[in-house]
Every structure is written in C-alpha cells, then in structure tokens.
Structure 1
C-alpha cells in the first residue's frame, strides 16, 4: 500500500561502528590482561610445587625414613611449604595419599592404619576414597610432579591444583565484560527513551504551533464571512462556512495532541461514514478511477473523540488513495463487532502497491513516508490516536507487495454491565 522511505536522524554509521569497536577492544584488553595474570599465578604455583617436590625428595630416603634434621630444610619448610595457598596432595610410590593441604579433608581424620593395604584403584568408602578422587581431579587441572630418588627410584608424586585466586581471575573478565555490556544496554535504552521523549515534545510543540497558526486565518475568515452575509451571496457563504468548519476541526485535532481527549459515547459507523463522505467530496480523482465500497455492521457503541477518530480514518483512506497505481482502484471499508463482542473492528482494505516485507515492521514509526515532501507522521499519529488516546489497537492485518494491504483497528466496546470492556 505504501512505498515507505526512512526520513529520520541517526548517529553517523562510522561513529557507531567506532564506538562498537572501542567497546570490543576494551573487553578484549581486559580479557587478555587477566589471562596474563592467570598465567603468572599458575607459573608461580607450578614453581612452588616443584620446590615442594624437591624438598620432599631430599628429605625422604628410598625407604621413607627421614634423615637427621637439617636447619636449612626447616627454613624452606617454614617459609615455603607452610605458606602454600593451593590444594596439594602427596602420594607415595603406590599412589596412596600420605599428606595433603588445602583440601576439604582434615589431615588428622585419616590414620596410618587406614592407609595400609589400600588399593588406590578400588579404595573403600570414606575419607581415603575422597582423597584419591581429589587427587585425580587435581591431575586434570595440572600435570603431577614425580619425586625421583637418584633420577630412577620413584618416592612419590606431588599433585596440585589451582589456587582460588586463579579461579577468581578467570571469572573476573567475564563479570567485567557483563557489567560493561549491561551499562551499554542501559545507556542505549536511556538514550532511546530520551530521544523518544524529545520526539514527543517536538510532536506536541508542532501540533500546538500548527493550531496557533491556524487560529489567526480562522478568525479572519469568520470575520469576512459575516461581512459577506450582508450581501447575501448564498453559495459563496455556504462554501466558506464549510471550509471554516473544516479548519476548526483541524485546529481541534492538533490541539488535542499532547493532552488526553474527552471521549464520548457514540456510533463508530457515523464517524467512519462522515470521514469517507468528506473525502469523496474533496478528492475528485476518486470518482474517476477509485471505487470505495462501504459496509457498516457495527452495533456496539464505543467511547471516542469524533475529530481524532475521523483523522485516523482520513489518514488511512488518503494513504490508500496515494498508493493506487492501477487504472481501477478499490478501497473497502467495513465495521463490525468482534466475535467476542468486546471490540468494534474497523477494517480498511485496498488493492494498491502493498508494502515491502522489509518495511512492514517500521511503517508506524515517525519519519517514514512514500511522499517526496511528506513528513512521515500520518501512520505514527494514527497509531498514537488509536492506542494511546482510545486504548485500542491498530495493526497491518495483511499485505502483499503489488497487490494491496489491509489495516485493522480494534476499539473497546461499551458493555452496559461494566461501562467499558
């Protein structure tokens, strides 16, 4: 029905692209920085584990008997081993846990008797089995470090995992990225709301300024009409009075934008028929190439503003007329009660150009128009009048490019039991 084009202001595409790339660069920078920190912490953990293994290898004989105390080794144990902040399990040559730190099992809860004759492949239920399972989990995180005596005899193995700091650092860039994305979304929504608010103010200002500008010539026309009445040129007077009445209606329409209209109970058929009759009189091309079929079956009454609702009908009919590119155009207008009796339906169907699929979702946005010098406000104002002022709904029921479109309006019907459905 309409060949829609976009006529609105946007941020330059290159600026939006640069902003997007900037945010991506920040997120990648944060991610790479924390990955570097994670790698450094892991390297530190690995070095500490190797020192631990070397210490145990030196302190342990092939038979598991400790030599005489060594003051230097005591310093290493006190300054390095006791400060380990990551999970570590020491197993003997058979894979049986002999010592552990920073795991969820108390060292004193497992006795030497419990470790004797344990099969590491099939341990009994209890803390020993949990220790062996923890050991296997640690091996998945980091490669275990064997303790070899003389380079050949295996005395045991050091199994170590990740420090809690590593896990925090791994999640931190994800959290930061999420926060940045949330801020971007909130900022975008805030910008959209602010822009929409500005558009609302522009619309209201435009409407009120238009009403103000129309007021002056209206007053003048009314004065001239009174003067002409004295000379009694009847035909001229009637025409002037109709145009003055029309200008009053236009003024009332624009004055109503930006404030809640006073809705009155009435018959939808009357306002639709009045609007169509007016267009038939004012648009001579209709008689030559366009046929308007009318069918008014609505029985339910609704609350509406006559001037605003007639504006809606006129906008839809005018757009249908403008979309006609055939020698014989057809516009069908009908009203009826909905099947649920909760609404009154107004349907307008035409056989014009139709709407391209990629434009369908945007036809009610301000700034889209098929006219070379149009403002692109017709359908946007129509939607606002129907949905915000009359609590109804307007939608594009169907369209096919090259074959026409159908618009459908729902208005809440009055129910006598509870005044308004």
Structure 2
C-alpha cells in the first residue's frame, strides 16, 4: 500500500493563498492598465483628428480672418507637444512634422528618407487620418503613440515580471522555512532517540557484566551475542547523536568499509537474499567519510532493497571509478522497481511504500551523502517488476 503524508500541509495552504492573491492583483492591474491604455489611445486619436481639422482649416484659402488663422496655427497646430505626427500633402510631399527629433547633420534628402521610414512605422500602428482641404484634394496625417503611452504599454509586462519575482521569492521563503522546520524536527527527534536509548543500554551493559561474573550459570556464547547487540545499539545511538552536528570525516579505505559492513549486514537480513560485493577500485582506494554515518546510508538503502524484494532476491553492490576523481557505489536489487511517477518522491520526507515506518530512511541517507559528504545519491535506473539501482557518488580527492 502506497502512502505519503506531509505534516507541513499548512505551508502548502499558505502558498496557495499567496499565489491566488498575486494572481488577483496581477489580473486586476493588467485589466485596469489595458482599460487605461485604450482610453489614452482614443484621446490621442481625438487630438490627431483635431490636428487634421486644423490643417484643413489652415489650408483653406477662403479664410481671410487673420486672428482665426493665428489661433489655428499657434493654438491648435502647436498644442500637440507629445504625439508624433507627419502631414503629407496631396502631392505626396511631407509638409509638417510634429514631435519628431531628427538626427543631427542630415541633409534634406536624408531627412526626407528618415521621415519616410517613420511613416512606414506609423502605418503599422495606426491608419492615417484623411485631411480634406477642398477641391477634391486630400492629404494624410500619419501618427504614432506618445512616449507616455508607449511606456504605459510596457507597464503590464514590467508588472507581470515583478509579480512573478515576488511569487518566486515567496515560494523560496516558504520552502526555506519548511526545510528549516523539517531539519529542526529531524534533529530533535534524532537527539531525543539517542537520549532515550542511553538508559536501556546502560542497563543491558550491567546485565552483560552480571552474566559474565557467573560463567557457570550463563553460556558465554549467549553473553557474547548480547554484547554484540549492545554494541550495535551504541553504534545506532552514535549515529542519531551525529544528526544536526557537523560530522568528522576521516580517510577510510572504501573497499574495506563496504565489505566489512556488508559482511555484518548479510547475517542480519533474510537468508533468501543473495548479497554480493564487487569492486573495480584500487585495493587501497581512500575516501573521506564519517564511517558511522556512511554505514547508515548503506544500511538504509540495502534494507529498502530487501523490503522491495520481499525478503527474496539478489542484492549486488558494485564499486566503480568515475571521471574527475570520483567513485561510485551502485546498489542493485531485483525487487519490484519504482514507477516513473514515484521516481522523484523516493527521497521526500514521509514517502513510503510500506504500511509501517516514517519514510525518512532514504531522506536521511540523501542528506548524509550530499550535505555531510559533498556527494550525490540518486536513482540510477529502475524498471517496474525487475529492480532498482541506487548510486552513491563520492569525491576521492
């Protein structure tokens, strides 16, 4: 039966709330900005239409009132100080330009060419407005958006980028807080477990000494086995005590460490599991590890493999050299394999395919390898119904 639980589900609810708020703010801002842009475009078009009427009025030679002409030229034609516009007369000549900065040192022909290029760009944005100057003659006014409107057009994209950045920062903050809380829980649980193991271990050691004091009554071989189990408990206690602290790494012979521990482990797993160890590493291959914690990693992966095989199958450990001064330990089982859907979940806290257990074994193993040993632990390959290979990568420098 597959189970997966998350004691930090409240953080997920907060993430959803923050995401919804950002979405609402972003959507509302974009809609409002779009509405504002539409209104400004309409207003600027009205200004240009007024400009065309002014040109038509100024071109009409029937007007004799000089004060009216002065009003048209000084008040209306010059009122537009923001909207770029170009008037082309009925003969196709450029007669007026407004709010267009010409580059310095251009000849007359170059200026005309520059303005013609501007007209091409303006036609892509807006259809030209017709200026009826009488006698069936018509000019055209080309125009584009003002700089203010252009800036406002880019505003939604800037706003979207800002909201996206805020969303990413909020996600990272929640994730960081969650990981920190998880770390505190794991460290607290580990140290409390180590503390609780101390009392029964002391009692067991006392019983071992008592039994050794009367060899006639107690079989020495039984006492030896009990002592081995007590030493095993001491090792487990030391491991739990190391969680949350920076472990001491020492140069160890990797071949010897793996073989010694697998010899011990092979006697304590199902007799129906065939366990083998092979190595392509030099016999004296040294790596910097914390032996107690590294053995814990091997144990967690191997026990998960035995569970995946339901106590029957083959478990192979193979040590191989890698480029860039790295070595790898491949742990392969012939179990049920891992589906693609669960491939990324196997190292998540609380994920387990068993009915019992906290689902922290592989999570702690990955943390020990990657955070304490600066290595990598991942699923190298897996096929449902055939088995899985976990790979541990360590730096041998």
Q: TM-score, normalised by structure 1?
A: 0.84
Q: Counterpart of 2:235?
A: 249
The partner residue of 2:92 within 91, 95, 110 is 95
Say if 1:55 and 1:73, in contact at 8 Å, map to a contact too: no
Say if 1:42 and 1:162, in contact at 8 Å, map to a contact too: yes
Residues 153-232 of structure 1 mapped to structure 2, 5 A cutoff:
153-232=136-215
- Supply the distance in 2 between the matched residues of 1:18 and 1:314 (Cα, whole angstroms): 41
The secondary structure found in structure 2 opposite 1:237 is helix
- Supply the distance in 1 between the matched residues of 2:227 and 2:103 (Cα, whole angstroms): 100
Residue by residue, what CA displacement relative to the aligned partner does 1:303-339 show, whole Å, maximum 9, x if unpaired?
Answer: 222211211111111111111148x511112334x15
The partner residue of 2:64 within 68, 90, 95 is 68
- Supply the distance in 1 between the matched residues of 2:92 and 2:353 (Cα, whole angstroms): 80
Aligned pairs, how many? 390
| CA pair 411-174 structure 1, distance change in 2 beyond 3 A | closer
Correspondence 1:357 to 2:340: yes
The secondary structure found in structure 2 opposite 1:86 is coil
- Supply the distance in 2 between the matched residues of 1:334 and 1:353 (Cα, whole angstroms): 20
The secondary structure found in structure 1 opposite 2:379 is strand
- Supply the distance in 2 between the matched residues of 1:314 and 1:218 (Cα, whole angstroms): 21
Q: Counterpart of 1:80?
A: 76
Q: Counterpart of 1:122?
A: none
Q: Counterpart of 2:308?
A: 323
Gaps of 5+ in 2: none
The partner residue of 1:281 within 228, 245, 267 is 267
Q: Counterpart of 1:374?
A: 357
Moved over 6 A (4+): 12-15
| CA pair 341-301 structure 1, distance change in 2 beyond 3 A | farther
Q: Counterpart of 1:302?
A: 287
Say if 1:59 and 1:66, in contact at 8 Å, map to a contact too: no
Residue by residue, what CA displacement relative to the aligned partner does 1:158-215 show, whole Å, maximum 9, x if unpaired?
Answer: 2222111111111111111110111001110111111111111211111111111111
The partner residue of 1:272 within 238, 241, 258 is 258
Gaps of 5+ in 1: 115-124, 414-420
- Supply the distance in 2 between the matched residues of 1:339 and 1:191 (Cα, whole angstroms): 37
Q: TM-score, normalised by structure 2?
A: 0.89
| CA pair 17-411 structure 1, distance change in 2 beyond 3 A | closer
Q: Counterpart of 2:384?
A: 401
Q: Counterpart of 1:40?
A: 39
- Supply the distance in 2 between the matched residues of 1:180 and 1:313 (Cα, whole angstroms): 45
- Supply the distance in 2 between the matched residues of 1:252 and 1:154 (Cα, whole angstroms): 99
| CA pair 136-340 structure 1, distance change in 2 beyond 3 A | closer
1:408 Cα offset (Å): 2.1
| CA pair 70-358 structure 1, distance change in 2 beyond 3 A | same
- Supply the distance in 2 between the matched residues of 1:160 and 1:266 (Cα, whole angstroms): 78
- Supply the distance in 1 between the matched residues of 2:250 and 2:130 (Cα, whole angstroms): 90
Residue by residue, what CA displacement relative to the aligned partner does 1:195-244 show, whole Å, maximum 9, x if unpaired?
Answer: 11111121111111111111111122222322332222223421221121
Q: Counterpart of 1:58?
A: 57
Q: Relative contact order: is structure 1 or structure 2 higher (C-alpha 8 Å, sep ≥ 6)?
A: 1
Say if 1:4 and 1:363, in contact at 8 Å, map to a contact too: no
- Supply the distance in 2 between the matched residues of 1:166 and 1:197 (Cα, whole angstroms): 47
- Supply the distance in 1 between the matched residues of 2:133 and 2:251 (Cα, whole angstroms): 100
